[in-house]
């Protein structure tokens, strides 16, 4: 019989690779990869992106000569395992939980292909039990970190302890021959890294009070990958912020209403840092002061967009900073992904 206790985020952690690329290095690399672009346009794109630095597991020359899909995917498999291992160990340590106590592991990634999934070698490295339930999530893009938290909450309601790990090597999706503006924006915005969370009924973190999903109609081409012999080529429509401007507030209001809440009951906004314009649209929709989105902005500044792992880095920054909503209010978690879709969660401090 399932317990009535709410699942909690017992711990969350971030891991990033060793090589750091600042704004000036990014401009230099992009000008070499996109020689037909106006230098001032590229400079303006990078400096206005909200991203000050990003982390990569390989030196910049690998970005300039990324290789074919086989080479990129091999690098993905190697680096993703190392990052996932580091993030998981730190999350388990913070939760004071032995790896052998984990009942479910949710492995989230969309920037490479590994069969068997990443959770197989990860289970051996971490010392997870042979009977651990493994659930790989591979095709939900940037929304998948929040989706993983939602699924973890459902498992944890039954008393299981869940380890969520999201790891992305966005650099592995750079297609050198693609001279599109979408690929240029991707090259300026996305970084590499991992996030992990422990979700269980015990722990001192916030309770996951409710979770939900929303699929925006007629937006299938707004975001995703074009999959072919070239590998995974980014698809990113310029109209994305406008789609969110039209449809996001009604979707969030509907989710809150179903769970007995309204926009005024949200005291902390934990948003996937999809980019500067996405944050600006969200802030305008809810008439928020700039400081209200300080954790998504800080995650974007430090790491860039880490796709599915980004929402976990936002949670990590917020928890480390002691953030919590005012009494009687809750935190709203929002992430966007292909579909176009949104994954949502309500976090509550002190709830039983």
Angle at Cα 180 formed by Cα 176 and Cα 182, nearest 5°? Answer: 100
* CA dist., res. 42 & res. 87, Å (int): 33
Helix, strand or coil, per DSSP, at residue 177? coil
302: its two tokens: 């430090």
Q: What is the largest CA-CA distance in the chain?
A: 63
* CA dist., res. 197 & res. 97, Å (int): 12
Scan for tokens 């990324």, then name that residue.
Answer: 66
Helix, strand or coil, per DSSP, at residue 114? coil
Tell me, what DSSP letter sits at residue 325?
P
Instruction: Tell me the residue ranges of DSSP E strands in 132-243.
Output: 133-137, 162-169, 192-200, 207-215, 223-228, 231-236
Give the residue from 114, 301, 20, 266 showing the smallest Cα distance to 29.
20
Catalytic site positions: 142
Helix, strand or coil, per DSSP, at residue 241? helix
Residue 113, exposed/middle/buried by CB under 10 A (0-12, 13-18, 19+)? middle
In degrees and rounded to multiples of 5, residue 23 shows phi and psi of: -60, -45
* CA dist., res. 185 & res. 213, Å (int): 27
* CA dist., res. 190 & res. 55, Å (int): 10
* CA dist., res. 88 & res. 102, Å (int): 11
* CA dist., res. 318 & res. 268, Å (int): 10
Give the residue from 34, 163, 21 showing the smallest Cα distance to 92.
163
Angle at Cα 344 formed by Cα 343 and Cα 347, nearest 5°? Answer: 145
């Amino acid at each position: 019989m399932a317990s009535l206790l709410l699942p909690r985020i017992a711990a969350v952690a971030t891991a990033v690779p060793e090589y750091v690329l600042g704004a000036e290095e990014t401009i230099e690399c992009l000008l070499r990869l996109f020689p037909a672009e106006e230098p001032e346009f590229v400079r303006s794109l990078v400096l206005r992106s909200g991203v000050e630095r990003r982390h990569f597991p390989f030196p910049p020359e690998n970005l300039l000569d990324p290789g074919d899909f086989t080479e990129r995917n091999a690098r993905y498999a190697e680096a993703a395992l190392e990052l996932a291992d580091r993030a998981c160990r730190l999350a388990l340590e913070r939760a004071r939980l032995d790896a052998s106590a984990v009942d479910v592991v949710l492995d989230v990634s969309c920037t490479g292909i590994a069969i068997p999934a990443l959770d197989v070698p990860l289970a051996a490295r971490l010392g997870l039990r042979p009977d651990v339930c493994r659930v790989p999530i591979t095709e939900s893009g940037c929304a998948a970190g929040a989706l993983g938290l939602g699924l973890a909450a459902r498992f944890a309601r039954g008393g299981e302890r869940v380890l969520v790990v999201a790891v992305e090597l966005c650099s592995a999706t750079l297609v050198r021959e693609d001279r599109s503006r979408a690929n240029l924006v991707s090259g300026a915005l996305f970084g590499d890294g991992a996030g992990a969370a422990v979700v269980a009924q015990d722990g001192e973190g916030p309770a996951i009070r409710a979770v939900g999903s929303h699929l925006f109609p007629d937006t299938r081409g707004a975001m995703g990958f074009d999959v072919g012999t070239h590998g995974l080529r980014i698809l990113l429509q310029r109209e994305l912020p406008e789609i969110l401007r039209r449809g996001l507030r009604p979707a969030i209001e509907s989710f809150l209403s179903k769970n007995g809440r309204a926009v005024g009951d949200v005291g902390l906004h934990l948003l996937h840092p999809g980019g500067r314009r996405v944050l600006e649209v969200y802030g305008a929709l809810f008439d928020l002061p700039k400081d209200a989105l300080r954790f998504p902005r800080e995650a974007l500044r430090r790491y860039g967009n880490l796709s599915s792992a980004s929402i976990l880095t936002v949670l990590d920054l917020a928890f480390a900073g002691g953030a919590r909503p005012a009494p009687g209010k809750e935190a709203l978690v929002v992430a966007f992904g292909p579909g176009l879709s949104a994954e949502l969660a309500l976090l509550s401090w002190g709830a039983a």
